Amino acid sequence: MTAPPSDPEIPAGLFGDALPAPTKKLPVEAATPQDDVIEVGARLPQDLYLGTSSWSFPGWAGLVYASGASESVLSRKGLAAYSRHPVLRAAGIDRGFYSALTRAEFAAYAQQVPASFRFLVKAPSTVTDASVRDENGRVTGENEGFLDARLACDLFVEPATTGLEANAGPLVFQFSPLPRKLLAEPQRFADALHGFLKFLPKGPLYAVEIRDAEVLTEGLMQALADNNARYCFGVHPRLPGLPAQAKLASMLPPGPTVARWNLHAGYRYEEAKANYAPFNRLVDPDPRTRKHLAQLAMRALVIHQPAFIVANNKAEGSAPLSCVELAREVETLVEEKRAGGATL
């Protein structure tokens, strides 16, 4: 294995503050990475945070974990092993979307990872879904907590930031599909979002992810720009492609990139889950999306801003392998920039 090239202009190390080697057996042991994966990870810019939207998948044995473990064990105790993967320097905490997490629960996650690791945290649907839904997702009424900023602070912002502390990455407000009356008046949604973001405490990196192309407007971008929030790029069949999203998001001031690679085109969530399980190989490689995501990452990196991208198993079949291939794509762009005399 050759050592990564030294370049004072392009950060080269992943874990300057990596966790010390364990002195006793961990509840979940990390897999031994292949040499080429170690090398790719070592060459990535330090401000690039790639990860997966969760980490509790037994099918990742041999890729992330040394051997099989139950979903429950991985959910509670797998992060220490996960964070030793050379490319995975971030993870999504999605479970808080369904039920708000406590400060102690967030702190328990942070205690398992190095200081250089970042979490992308989804806000509870209590404040991001305009509708109340039953267990099957059917709308049963209007949600009185929708876009309630005080509720968002109490249930989400305060516990996430105080629990995760330095490991807190973007706080993502993912808005479920909106009712027709809001889709018919996209500026009304943008104005409501503006008021919501304005009330939130300053300091955290906020990002907004939508599921309706109708509200992807200049008004939405203005609401984000006015409140120093970022647009969360979403790879999802309900949205236009990444180039169209990027064109509109160019209205925002330069800053961090936040993206979630959610679902392969042409699939519903449950279809992708059935086709891709146990998530240990790339079933439907999507190099075009990888290229677009790498380009979005470079937008931030070239101006010395961080880029946060998490992948779902339903994107290509295996989120860790998607991240490795995305890392290779970013590495290619970094080398092209270096060859052209640019610095990161």
Residue 170: give its domain's CATH number. 3.20.20.410
Confidence (pLDDT) at 6: 39
Give percent above pLDDT 90 in the chain.
82
The band of 27, judged by pLDDT with boundaries at 50, 70 and 90, is: confident
Q: Structural domain tally of the chain?
A: 1
Domain annotation covers residue 5? no
What percent of the residues of the chain are helix, what percent strand, and what percent coil, each to the nearest 5?
40, 15, 45
- Whether the per-residue pLDDT at 217 is higher than 90: the answer is yes
Domain annotation covers residue 3? no
Domain annotation covers residue 194? yes
Domain annotation covers residue 262? yes
Mean pLDDT in residue range 3-32? 55
The band of 25, judged by pLDDT with boundaries at 50, 70 and 90, is: low
Q: Show Cβ contacts of residue 66 under 8 Å, excluding neighbours closer than 6 positions.
A: 28, 29, 30, 31, 32, 81
Contact 249, 221 (CB under 8 A): yes
* Residue 173 phi, psi (nearest 5): -100, 100
Give the number of other CB atoms < 10 A from CB of residue 150: 11
Domain annotation covers residue 236? yes
- For 157, the domain range is 35-339
Angle (CA) 102 105 109, round 5°: 140
- Whether the per-residue pLDDT at 21 is higher than 80: the answer is no
- Whether the per-residue pLDDT at 333 is higher than 90: the answer is yes
Q: What is the H or E stretch that residue 37 is in? A: helix 35-43
- Whether the per-residue pLDDT at 2 is higher than 80: the answer is no
Domain annotation covers residue 229? yes
Half-sphere exposure of 309 (CA within 13 A, CB side): 33
Confidence (pLDDT) at 305: 97
Confidence (pLDDT) at 244: 97
Confidence (pLDDT) at 93: 97
Please write the tens of the pLDDT for every residue from 111-139: 999 999 999 999 999 999 999 888 878 88
- Higher per-residue pLDDT: 327 or 338: 327
Mean pLDDT in residue range 152-181? 97
Lowest mean pLDDT, pick from 36-40, 220-224, 261-265: 261-265
Q: What's the whole-model pTM score?
A: 0.90
Say how far apart CA 244 and CA 61 lie, in whole Å. Answer: 37
Domain annotation covers residue 113? yes
Domain annotation covers residue 311? yes
Confidence (pLDDT) at 135: 81
